[in-house]
Amino acid sequence: MSIVAHCHSVSMIGEVPLMGTAPASFVLPATEKAPANATAKATEKAVVLLIEHNPEDTATVAKLLASAGYISHCCRDAQAALDSSRENPPNLIIADANLAGASGLRLCELIKQQPRMADVPLMFLSANQVPDIIRRSHQGGCAYHVRKPFDPQVLLELIDKALWAPRTTTGAVAS
């Protein structure tokens, strides 16, 4: 299943529980005021590839991204994420470290090997409690590892930093 958020609407393509395989969409409520950290940079409509197998978490993060002015391409599985990154290279990747039947760490390594993807910043958003997950995610080029449940404002601040921080040619965030 693929979900794409554009400002205040989200489109889902693929099999959706209780809805079959027809495309579906719903409208996100408009925000009265932009979040405090939504800078002018956010209005540049950065594209975020969100890779998350949990539909509730996908909807929560996509809504948060849309409220801050980002465009999100949401994928629930490895193949959809690989296809999306080839067809629409993102400005940022946010992935769960554990995907249904796949390793989010390995998937992100594969995505970053694609043309034009080496310098795309990467963040993990995961409930994974494995002791060395943060070390392994940073070794894989991850700028930030955020544990679920997360503070929405902190996540938006880290997204902004990951998107606009200078990077080296290897894709790691410069210090």
pLDDT at 89: 92
**Encoding tokens for residue 9?**
């609407």
pLDDT at 21: 43
Q: Mind spelling out the 3-state secondary structure of the chain?
A: CEEEEECCEEEEECCECCCECCCEEEECCCCCCCCCCCCHHHHHCCEEEEECCCHHHHHHHHHHHHHCCCEEEEECCHHHHHHHHHHCCCCEEEECCEECCEEHHHHHHHHHCCCCCCCCCEEEEECCCCCCHHHHHHHCCEEEEEECCCCHHHHHHHHHHHHHCCECCCCCECC
Average pLDDT, consecutive stretches of 10 residues, N- to C-terminus, the chain (175 residues): 44 44 40 38 76 94 96 92 91 87 80 85 84 77 87 95 71 37
pLDDT at 61: 96
pLDDT at 17: 47
pLDDT at 94: 94
Whether the ω angle into residue 149 lies within 30 degrees of 0, i.e. cis, is: yes
Identify which of 44, 31, 70 has the alpha carbon closest to the alpha carbon of residue 158. 70
pLDDT at 44: 64
pLDDT at 167: 59
| Long-range contacts of 127-135, Cβ-Cβ distance < 8 Å, separation of 24 or more | 128/96, 128/97, 128/98, 133/97
Amino acid letter, residue 156: L
Amino acid letter, residue 101: G
pLDDT at 35: 37
**131 Cβ neighbours under 8 A, 6+ residues apart:** none
Its pTM stands at 0.69
pLDDT at 57: 94
Angle at 98 between CA 150 and CA 167, to 5 degrees: 70
